[in-house]
Chains A and B, each alone.
Chain A
């Protein structure tokens, strides 16, 4: 049986996001004046072998480790995990 992990990686609030700023300026010039700010992040899906973990907690720990060590750079990014 496999389990899916959905991970969103976003820049920390205090880190300037030039990509978001560029999208914001395009939205503004396209007439979408209601948009006040844009932040661009990443979305990652992992498919994980559930059977190799004694508990869902342990599986989640591994996803957290992967997110900390590889998928995000903790200096500038944070992440959220959803398991399904």
Chain B
């Protein structure tokens, strides 16, 4: 795929470990021009990106709370500003936790109800097909993506959940193979099986499963690729 006109930035913190996976998928599979943004990079050097990905990992060793220290590093000020100017931002796993801690997305992650690091494939149901992150996903298509996290138990106050629901900001839920949202298909105790949410204006999203680990046939699933295809489609049609 050739998308050389599209430029993506991938933030890198000490402890990010999915940065190269995202880099490879964007550059090699989707032909996007993706480059890294070190967390201390000067804000003025970071203009001109069509979208930003905050990859997974264990930024700052998950010290204090997952994502808490990265959320307060200099580059996140830029990301906040970028998001406020309608820039597209995708946070994956630890990137999702960072967006929550930065207050760019609503809610918080608690430890998995099992208290275990959950590393396995899960099934996802898409609830909103109009966002920049889901617009290339076929309706009624259940996606298979891997998760790998200890703190993916999404929690928010009732009022926040209502607001997310009404706005259509709950974009992914954990489900079974057939697409039924069941307690048994919830891998971490997440409230209402929530796996991914967006902000009010849909230009920022966070999800716990890893689309970059499921964008190539050799890795067992290409379903994660739909998330990146959606972003590219959205940017091209904008």
Binding site for B on A (CB under 8 A): 15-16, 18-19, 22, 42, 70-71, 73, 75-76
The yes or no answer to B76 lying at the interface (CB within 8 A) is no
Q: How many A-B residue pairs have CB under 8 A?
A: 30
Instruction: Give the CA-CA distance A56 to B93 in the complex, in Å.
Output: 41
| A66 smallest CB distance to B (angstroms) | 11
Q: Do residues A70 and B107 form an inter-chain contact, with CB atoms below 8 A?
A: no
Other A-B pairs beyond A70-B64, A76-B155, 5, CB < 8 Å? A18-B114, A42-B64, A71-B64, A75-B155, A75-B157
Smallest beta-carbon distance A11→chain B, Å: 9
List of A residues within 8 angstroms of B101 by Cβ: 73
In the complex, A78→B65 CA distance in Å? 14
Q: Across the interface, do A22 and B72 meet the contact criterion of CB distance under 8 Å?
A: no
The yes or no answer to B164 lying at the interface (CB within 8 A) is: no
Q: Which residue of B lies closest to A71 (CB)?
A: B64
Report whether over half of chain A's contact residues are helix, strand or loop; otherwise say mixed. mixed
User: Which residue of A19, A42, A71, A73 contacts B108 across the interface (Cβ within 8 Å)?
Assistant: A73
B96 → A minimal CB distance (Å) = 14
Q: How many chain B residues touch A (Cβ–Cβ < 8 Å)?
A: 16
- Pairs A–B under 8 Å by Cβ, sample size 21: A15-B155, A16-B110, A16-B113, A18-B111, A18-B112, A18-B113, A18-B115, A19-B111, A19-B115, A22-B115, A42-B64, A70-B64, A73-B65, A73-B68, A73-B101, A73-B108, A75-B107, A75-B155, A75-B157, A76-B108, A76-B110
Which single residue of chain B is at the shortest CB-CB distance from A44?
B64
CB pair A70 B72 closer than 8 Å:
yes
Q: Are A70 and B68 in contact (CB under 8 A)?
A: yes
Contacts of A70 in B (CB 8 A): 64, 68, 72
B110–A18 contact, CB under 8 A? yes
Q: How far is the CA of A56 from the CA of B50 in the complex (A)?
A: 48
Given contacts A70-B68, A70-B72, A75 and B156 within 8 Å (CB-CB): yes
